[in-house]
Structure 1
Amino acid sequence: MVRWLYVLLLGVPAAYIAEFLHASPLVIFILAALGLIPLAGLIGVSTEALAERVGQSVGGLLNATFGNAAEIIIGLAALAAGLPEVVRASLSGSIIGNSLLVLGMSMFFGGWKYREQRFSARQTGQYASMLTLAVIGMAIPSLLATVGESTQPGDKIIQGNQLHQMSLGISVILLLCYVAYIAYSVFGVRAAQGDLATKGSHKADSNKDSAGHSSDTHNATVERMSTTPHNNDKSSTEVKKQDKGRFAGLSHQWHTNIWFPIGLLAIATVITAFMSELLVGSIEPLTKQIGLNPFFVGLIILPIVGNAAEHFSAVTSARQNHMEISMAITAGSSIQIALLAAPLLVLAGVVIGVPLDLNFSLLEVAMFALVAGLYSIISLDGRSNWLEGLLLCAFYLILAVGTFFTPA
């Protein structure tokens, strides 16, 4: 994670101070959102550090488990606050945001620098097919609830308790699909030899999680970005040497002692839980104060907050001409939302006592189909440019403006 993001950690104590002083819900919401951005990044950094120590297979499983930890924690806090509509909107917003905003920004900044970028159409085609299947499974309850058997005279649309029970059953199936996905992509169970060879030699290989991250590649990318501009600057080099000596002991412990990343992961997760509760607690007062639509908060704002560090990783990879990594991050994160985060939150609703079903609005279902189709089309030729990225971002902004002006 880039260093300037750590400055946003000041939002954590500032949010609690604002809460103690009974500040405006808008102020609390903004401060809590800013504080959550680096916390999500710290969860990712500590998970990657653990993955390097425990080996490729177990590390991949860790990354797959904690890849969307921030979104799951925020969703649990929203459920506990009795806001299932916000949870559903945040789930769909994460999928839509990854496929439109994040991928669009990656293509724009990468394409602006390199004019045209190329990636493996075969590999991104596999991500596209998985993404399509994942969002279809997630959207089935909505289709059955809205159209279902209502085309037959005398039949009733599925609703109420039946819809919830159906969502529970589908959630279990989706989780089983996720287990199979991890078995294939992380542990290579019955995987084709060509796919395993690709994983072994590709730039985004050894520690790639289910969201398509590669800790080795990304860390090297960030390191190159931080050092390259100062290669010819002697004063900067001296400062770096001093910093290296000053933090040599801590850095050594971080790279050799497994308890350091475990401790950081535990602390970041706990603080994220508290900050998520504070953020979600300000949603209802905020919507009443300024008339903001809760659907807009869940669809646009919460996914951006929960995925901010991951979004930066995708854009950084594109800027380093690793467009395949960016494509993998965007598709893989959406797959993880559909196959892991959504089913877990549905099952957690039973424990919390707030029923959550997978009955998304027709707009969200249509967007699922659209983003899956767009990702498939983009991956066909194995090329991208800045104009494609700009249009994807513009489409996302159109959606954001439309939901912003939708009556609450």
Structure 2
Amino acid sequence: MNKLFFIIVMAGVPLSVVGSLLHWSQVLMFTIYCITIVALAAFMGRATESLAVISGPRIGGLLNATFGNAVELIISIFALREGYIEIVLASLTGSVLGNLLLVAGLSFFVGGLKFKRQTFNVHDARHNSGLLMFGIIVAFVIPEVFSMNMSETQAISLSTGISIILIVLYIAALLFKLVTHRGVYQHENGENNTHHEEEPEWSQKKALTILAISTAAVAYVSESLVHTFETVGETFGWSELFIGVIIVAIVGNAAEHASAIIMAYKNKMDVAVEIAVGSTLQIAMFVAPLLVLLSLFFPVQMPLVFTLPELVSMVSAVLLTVVISNDGETNWFEGATLLAAYLIMGIGFYLL
């Protein structure tokens, strides 16, 4: 599989350049761009896995989430610049649904097929549950409700204020988890520390170098990908909402999808859950607010206001995840439940 991804990257990046210069079919280029980004994301995933072994499950999970979201952040910035506000908001929705339902669901399901009962840090689960409730239900619902009686300028001002608060709280959450309360709950929960016995695939220097090169390549391919959205949507009859929620979200989060499932299969549920839930928190409390603030410098500003189907889907995903994960245990059936919810919502967005 690693050789396959290497071949795809070595072929995909040059083809992306040549196809763009020669103006090949945009549908063909859309396919090439997506496959290339997924392959590049796989290298980013391997690099962050090596860093996770070196740094431990919490920081490792944060690194996986961060570099996994970097791909989508790059795609979203270029989409914002082109004025695709609906696609950007939809991709944020897709990331939340993808991480909480698809990634967590596949992780629980795949891990549950190998192990009848898997556990993870219950204190982290409850801490993350509170942040999920705040980051999605409070911070996303409030702009929707208040913007109903606001002008567009007022909605932007409200979104800007909320975005700043979200970023500050996200930084505070990282400070709490990684500095002031690092290791406080590990002993009483019996957290698995086997990562100290593992050898990373790549050295820290090599992993960071590959991350830098892959991120630069993703930035180039992502900019080209954005320009194909309109033609692809017209060709296949896809709405901007569907492209954002399903296509961009899956392509943009491919690295963390694979990493979380691999970790669950190895029974490293602390890392798997940190990737799935941590990535969602990062999307809601950092990436989305950052995009709102960046949009202030573009011709069209993006308010933090989602459509009703997007909002209801995200709130439902959060509530279902909180109920399932709050006991610190999981099994294959709970994974199947999350996957079923994702499929139901996917059908809805496709037909909408």
Deviation string, structure 1 residues 30-76 (Cα, Å, up to 9, x no partner): 11011111323334444566788899999898767545211110110
Distance across 1 between alignment mates of 2:311 and 2:196: 35
The structure that has the greater radius of gyration is 1
Q: Which residue of 1 aligns with 2:286?
A: 340
Distance across 1 between alignment mates of 2:350 and 2:289: 27
Q: Which residue of 2 aligns with 1:170?
A: 162
The 3-state SS of whatever aligns with 2:28 is helix
Aligned length: 350
Q: 1:103 to 1:219 in 2, by over 3 A?
A: farther
Q: Which residue of 2 aligns with 1:142?
A: 144
Query: Shift of the alpha carbon at 1:275?
Result: 0.6
Verify: 1:279 aligned to 2:225, yes or no: yes
Identity %: 36
Distance across 2 between alignment mates of 1:21 and 1:376: 49
Deviation string, structure 1 residues 284-310 (Cα, Å, up to 9, x no partner): 111122321111010011111111111
Q: 1:46 to 1:162 in 2, by over 3 A?
A: same
Deviation string, structure 1 residues 77-121 (Cα, Å, up to 9, x no partner): 111121011111111110111111111111111112223333343
Preserved contact between residue 218 and residue 313 of structure 1 (Cα < 8 Å): no
Q: Which residue of 2 aligns with 1:255?
A: 203
Q: Which residue of 2 aligns with 1:195?
A: 185
Distance across 2 between alignment mates of 1:57 and 1:120: 11
Verify: 1:358 aligned to 2:308, yes or no: no
Distance across 2 between alignment mates of 1:108 and 1:44: 20
Q: 1:198 to 1:304 in 2, by over 3 A?
A: farther
Query: Shift of the alpha carbon at 1:278?
Result: 1.0
Q: Which residue of 2 aligns with 1:105?
A: 106
Structure 2 unaligned residues grouped into runs of 5+: none
Q: 1:175 to 1:22 in 2, by over 3 A?
A: same
The 3-state SS of whatever aligns with 2:23 is coil
Distance across 1 between alignment mates of 2:2 and 2:142: 40
Query: Shift of the alpha carbon at 1:324?
Result: 3.1
Q: Which residue of 2 aligns with 1:183?
A: 175
Listed as ranges, the matches of 1:302-313 within 5 Å are 302-313=248-259
The 3-state SS of whatever aligns with 1:381 is coil
Query: Shift of the alpha carbon at 1:382?
Result: 3.2
Structure 1 unaligned residues grouped into runs of 5+: 147-156, 206-215, 224-253
One-letter code aligned to 1:171: S
Alignment TM-score, normalising by the size of structure 2:
0.88
Listed as ranges, the matches of 1:8-407 within 5 Å are 8-9=8-9, 10-46=11-47, 66-135=67-136, 136-146=138-148, 157-186=149-178, 188-189=179-180, 191=181, 194-195=184-185, 197=187, 202-203=191-192, 216=195, 255=203, 258=205, 260-406=206-352
Q: Which residue of 2 aligns with 1:228?
A: none
Alignment TM-score, normalising by the size of structure 1:
0.76
